[in-house]
């Protein structure tokens, strides 16, 4: 394992997300009346693919649009990708129409 991984830090931040009482406590910040007994079933945890920026050793927190000669790709479309899909689509189409994509090299290709 890389020395750059903060396993104890990950355990402190990620493990509580699997504890129902911890999640309810966080939810109470938005809905004070919610209680543990309101949650009877437990769903399966999901895995979210998110880009990791190696130079800064941090998660990328926004969409990244990469373009090649014949393609354009939206990377890091993590939550709330569904709710922002139309806006991101408009942005990508505008880039293509403005010549900012489809034929120009992306920042990572230069």
Q: Quick check: is 48 in a domain?
A: no
Q: Quick check: is 77 in a domain?
A: yes
Torsion, Cα 95 97 102 108, to 10 degrees, reads: -20
pLDDT band, residue 29 (cuts 50/70/90): very high
Q: Quick check: is 93 in a domain?
A: yes
Q: Quick check: is 69 in a domain?
A: yes
Residue with tokens 């942005």: 91
Residue 104 has pLDDT above 70, yes or no: no
More confident position, 55 or 83: 55
Residue 64 has pLDDT above 80, yes or no: yes
Q: Quick check: is 84 in a domain?
A: yes
Q: Quick check: is 87 in a domain?
A: yes
Containing structural domain, residue 31 = 1-41
Q: Quick check: is 26 in a domain?
A: yes
Q: Quick check: is 18 in a domain?
A: yes
DSSP-derived secondary structure letter, 16: G
Summarize pLDDT for 48-61 with one digit per residue, the tens. 778 888 898 888 88
Highest mean pLDDT of the ranges 42-51, 58-67, 71-80, 101-110: 58-67
**68 shares its domain with 105:** yes
CA angle 41, 45, 61 (to 5 degrees): 135
What's the predicted TM-score (pTM) here?
Answer: 0.46
Residue 22 has pLDDT above 80, yes or no: yes
> How many domains does the chain fold into?
2
């Amino acid at each position: 394992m890389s020395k750059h991984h903060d396993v104890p830090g990950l355990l402190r931040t990620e493990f509580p997300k699997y504890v129902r009482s911890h999640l309810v406590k966080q939810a109470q910040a938005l809905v004070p009346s919610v209680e543990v007994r309101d949650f009877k079933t437990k769903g399966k945890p999901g895995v979210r693919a998110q880009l990791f920026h190696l130079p800064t050793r941090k998660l990328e927190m926004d969409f990244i649009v990469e373009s090649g000669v014949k393609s354009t790709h939206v990377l890091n479309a993590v939550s709330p990708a569904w709710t922002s899909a139309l806006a991101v689509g408009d942005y990508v189409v505008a880039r293509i129409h403005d010549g900012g994509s489809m034929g120009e090299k992306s920042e990572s290709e230069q």
